[in-house]
Amino acid sequence: MALPKEPRQKMINIMYLVLTALLALNVSVQILNAFIAVNNGLVETNHNFDKKNANTMSLFEKAMADDPMKTKPYYDKAKRVQQWSKELCNYIDTLKSVLIAQTDGKSRKTADTMKLSEINAKDNFDIPTHILINDAASEDGSKGKAHELKMKIAAFRKEVMGLFDPAKDSILANIGLKTPNVYSSEEERKVTWEVANFYERPLVAEICLLSKEQNDVKNVEATMEAYLLSSVNASNFKFDRIVKEVVPYSNYVILGDSFKASIFMAAYSSTQNPRIIVGDVDTVTGAPIKGGHVDSVRVANGMGYYAVKTDHEGSIRYAGNITIQLPDGTYKPYPFHSSYLVAKPAVVIEPTMMNVFYIAVDNPVEISVPGVPDDNLRPSFQGPGSISGSKGKYTVRVSSGDGSKCHISVSAKLSDGSTKNFPPQEFRIKRLPDPICYVAGKKGDINITKAVLLNNPKVEAVMENCDFNVHYDVTSFQIVVTAGGYSKIEQSNSGRLTPSMMSLIKQSPSGNHVIFQKVNVKGPDSRSIPGANVTLN
């Protein structure tokens, strides 16, 4: 999901993540009650979004009355976004009602009016998992209601993006509502979005997460409607209200980079520049606090451009004031406040099969940097080998260096056009394990009859318990047979017994040993492997 603009919404999302982590340790009454509190906060935020979106649409209605020809293309798009958002949120409300009714043994009508605190089966895992995941039909959740929700979210996102031109509407880059597979440290593999979010969660947690999904949908609706409204030339309209907006380029900032945001009025004038300050101001009146520090924001064509260097991690709150001149010559302040998150530089490099690179085979690797599109990554390999691929999926090929180490470095092109270089990460280099020597379909110390050996005159090299699809062929081997007090050695330059070997074995008495040695194989590389000791019955 895209990071929210409102501090309240952001804090609720963070609380939800913390509670989900605690859930894995113990589902106590306090944790269940905490989920109820977070859900109440999300519901309140959703109501606030409804009010904000209704206000935006009322401004659109006024714009339509003033100039319908110019406004209608934007207004029609806003109405479609509004309708799609309503349909998806109604579906989620229905899903909540079904979960509560079936889990708590209530009718749908009763479930529609119940508060979370009134539910008896708050901590029930089984029924919500059965409804949302339906792991009896498919363990990946593709047969449950969570998958149906995922498809509806994807359809909503596609419909919204289809209204805009990706080449010029840069706002689409942060639309969010993505439902990717998630890496599970417990299972050491990626799991589906459905399983990661809805598998074995108590009822209150499921309801809370569904409220968060509604929050994300309404956030997209608010963002798109405000963006469409701002696309109308507001200077031609006589608005009776002015809406202030603070739009960050990104709420995810890498430590050492700059946080950037556009600060503007939704109905602003391109011929009149407001005065914008950021710093120690009263969040109610917008007046500078005595003894505090404020910075003036650069303003051009009615829009402010704010940039500040980050020097520490965490959630950074900021406030300011926009002052505009009214038609009567007086000035009116519009205070604002918001926040953004600063994090350390982070790069994720995940070998998709194991935590080492193996010599002479293709090692799949996934590379990503939070907040940076995969197309903007440039990995490089330091060591006896190379890396190839694109868009987050790569292949490492190592040519030598068993027991040594190699490194992968990544540079990323950031949204402001600058390049960020990340520290290299270290990986071990290992040779693939030896294949196992099989004689007549068996390995190790073998007891077989001469007939079985002569009817299966093959020596094979078999890879056991290997994650890679590799194959080795036997290129040569020797047998040593002791008979009559002396040893005789025969050489084969293939993987089969030679006629001389078969004749020697025919002459060997029961109980005699045939030693297979100096077994040479060829696959991704060439090597010698241990042989086998055959006792003739």
pLDDT at 271: 63
Helix axis angle, 29-66 relative to 203-231, nearest 10°?
20
pLDDT at 296 over 90: no
**What pLDDT score was predicted for residue 25?**
44
Contact criterion met (CB below 8 Å) for 415 and 391? no
445 three-state secondary structure = strand
Q: How many CB atoms lie within 10 A of CB 146?
A: 29
Cβ neighbourhood burial of 416 (10 Å; 0-12, 13-18, 19+): exposed
Domain boundary among 292, 326, 343: 343
| pLDDT score recorded for residue 337 | 81
By residue range, what is the domain housing residue 418? Answer: 348-430
User: What's the CATH code of the domain at 403?
Assistant: 2.60.40.60
Query: What is the model's pLDDT at position 24?
Result: 45
Task: Identify the band that residue 31 occupies on the pLDDT scale cut at 50, 70 and 90.
Answer: confident
What tens digit of pLDDT does each residue of 134-190 get? 988 888 889 999 999 999 999 999 999 998 887 777 777 778 888 889 887 777 889
Q: What is the DSSP string of 166-202?
A: TTT-GGGGG-------EEETTTTEEE-HHHHHHTT--
Give domain status of residue 424, yes or no. yes
This prediction's pTM? 0.43
Write the pLDDT tens digit of every residue in 131-147. 999 988 888 889 999 99
Same domain? 418 vs 481 = no
Question: Domain of 283: which CATH number?
Answer: 2.60.40.10
3-state secondary structure string across 314-347 = EEEEEEEEEEEECCCCCEEEEEEEEEEEEECCCC
Domain co-membership, 213 together with 290: no
Mean pLDDT of the chain: 84
Dihedral, 259, 260, 266, 269 alpha carbons, nearest 10: 140
Q: Which of 182-196, 292-306, 316-330, 448-462 has the lowest mean pLDDT?
A: 316-330
> Average pLDDT in the 197-209 region?
90
163, 80 Cβ separation under 8 angstroms: yes
How would residue 35 be classed by pLDDT, with cut points 50, 70 and 90?
confident
Tokens matching residue 17 = 């993540």
Residues 323 and 359 in one domain: no
Instruction: Give dist(CA 505, CA 513) in Å, integer.
Output: 10
pLDDT level of residue 368 (50, 70, 90 thresholds): confident
414, 12, 199, 144: which is closest to 1 by C-alpha? 12
Q: Give, as one character, the DSSP assignment of residue 531.
A: -
Among candidate residues 430, 458, 481, the one where a domain is terminated: 430
Q: What integer pLDDT is reported at residue 240 of this predicted model? A: 41
Domain identity same for 215 and 285: no
Provide mean pLDDT across the span 508-529. Answer: 92
Of 51-55, 184-188, 404-408, give the lowest mean pLDDT range: 184-188
| Closest-CA residue to 176 (of 42, 4, 6, 414) | 4
Residue 1 counted as domain residue: no
Q: Give pLDDT, residue 267.
A: 64
Residue 446 and residue 328 share a domain: no
User: Within a domain: residue 2?
Assistant: no
Range in 250-259, 330-339, 365-374, 399-408 with the lowest mean pLDDT: 250-259
Asked whether residue 354 falls in the same domain as residue 339, the answer is no
Residue with tokens 């696309």: 231
Give yes or no for a contact between 348 and 422, defined as CB atoms under 8 angstroms apart.
Answer: no
Number of folded domains that form the chain: 4
Residue 270 and residue 121 share a domain: no
| Angle, helices 145-161/68-104, rounded to nearest 10 degrees | 170
Percentage, residues of the chain above pLDDT 70: 84
Query: Is the domain of 472 the same as that of 368?
Result: no
Q: Where residue 313 falls among pLDDT bands split at 50, 70, 90?
A: low
Residue type, 399: S
Residue (of 305, 81, 130, 96) closest to 210 by Cα position? 96
- What pLDDT does residue 235 have? 38
Question: Which of 528, 498, 508, 358 has the alpha carbon at shortest distance from 437?
Answer: 528
Q: CA–CA separation, 288 vs 282, rounded Å?
A: 6
DSSP structure class, residue 235: G
Q: Which residues contact 448 (CB under 8 A, 6 or more apart)?
A: 440, 442, 534, 535, 536, 537
| Residues 65, 187 share a domain | yes
Q: Tokens representing 246? A: 């603070």
Burial class (CB in 10 A: 0-12, 13-18, 19+), 165: exposed
